[in-house]
Structure 1
Amino acid sequence: MERGNRIIYNQDGKIILQTGETTGDVSGHDTITELHYLDVEYGSIDYNKQHIESINPITKELVLKDIPVILTDEQKRLKALEEELSMLKEENKNRDSEIVNTAFEVVNMKLNNNI
């Protein structure tokens, strides 16, 4: 099927949107009986994580859909390594403070004994 370009324009003739021409497995344009608009505040949606699926015509609210995060094998391995490192840091937190305390004691002893 071939579908022509649909142009949406404002009251002054300024073009707001063009669909462009297309061919192949596409459906025709929907019949428009009313046009509405909704202004979305800048920065209110993280378009890397979500996209606008539609607008609820009754409530005039956005219907957002999460974009699935598909990790590469490298990203999965990196995430596993980061989690392992975090666990090791947590396990060794007490040990690190013991090392610092011991080092502090050694320095104090040297200072107090003029070594």
Structure 2
Amino acid sequence: MNRGNRIIYDQTGKVWIQTGEAAGDILEHDTITELNYIDIEFGSIDYGKQYIESINPITKEPVLKNIEVILTDEQKRLKALEEELSMLKEENKNRDSEIVNTAFEVVNMKLNNNI
């Protein structure tokens, strides 16, 4: 099937969107009976994490979907190593304070005994 270019334009004739031509196993254009718009406040959506899937025609609010993050094997390994490092730091938190206390005692003993 061949599909022609659909052009969306405003009341002055200014072109806003063109779909472009398409050929192959594609769907025909839907019939448009009404066009509306909404303005989204700048910065209100993190487009790096979400996208606008559609607009709820009743509430006039955007329907947001999260962008699925697919990690590479390298990113998965890095995440696992970061988690392991975090666990090791937590496990050794008490041990670090013991080492510092022991070192402090050694220094005090040396100072008190003029060593």
- RMSD over aligned CA atoms reads 1.7
Give the deviation of 1:112 after TM superposition. 4.7
Report the Cα distance in structure 1 between the residues aligned to 2:101 and 2:75, rounded to whole angstroms: 38
Give the deviation of 1:110 after TM superposition. 4.0
Give the deviation of 1:111 after TM superposition. 4.3
The corresponding residue for 1:8 is: 8
The corresponding residue for 2:53 is: 53
Q: Which runs of 5+ in 1 are unaligned?
A: none
The corresponding residue for 2:84 is: 84
Report the Cα distance in structure 1 between the residues aligned to 2:41 and 2:105, rounded to whole angstroms: 58
The corresponding residue for 1:98 is: 98
Report the Cα distance in structure 2 between the residues aligned to 1:70 and 1:54, rounded to whole angstroms: 23
TM-score, normalised with respect to structure 2: 0.87
- 1:32-71 alignment to 2 at 5 Å? 32-71=32-71
Give the deviation of 1:65 after TM superposition. 1.4
TM-score, normalised with respect to structure 1: 0.87
Give the deviation of 1:8 after TM superposition. 1.0
Any idea what SS the aligned residue of 1:64 has?
strand
Identity of aligned residues (%): 83
Q: Which deviates more from structure 2 when the two are superposed, residues 81-90 or residues 60-69?
A: 60-69
Report the Cα distance in structure 1 between the residues aligned to 2:24 and 2:59, rounded to whole angstroms: 35
Give the deviation of 1:57 after TM superposition. 0.5
The residue identity in structure 1 corresponding to 2:45 is I
Give the deviation of 1:93 after TM superposition. 0.2
Residues 18-62 of structure 1: CA deviation (Å, up to 9, x unaligned): 111111111111111111001112222222222111111011111
Give the deviation of 1:103 after TM superposition. 2.4
The residue identity in structure 2 corresponding to 1:99 is I
Report the Cα distance in structure 2 between the residues aligned to 1:110 and 1:16, rounded to whole angstroms: 81
Report the Cα distance in structure 2 between the residues aligned to 1:100 and 1:67, rounded to whole angstroms: 46
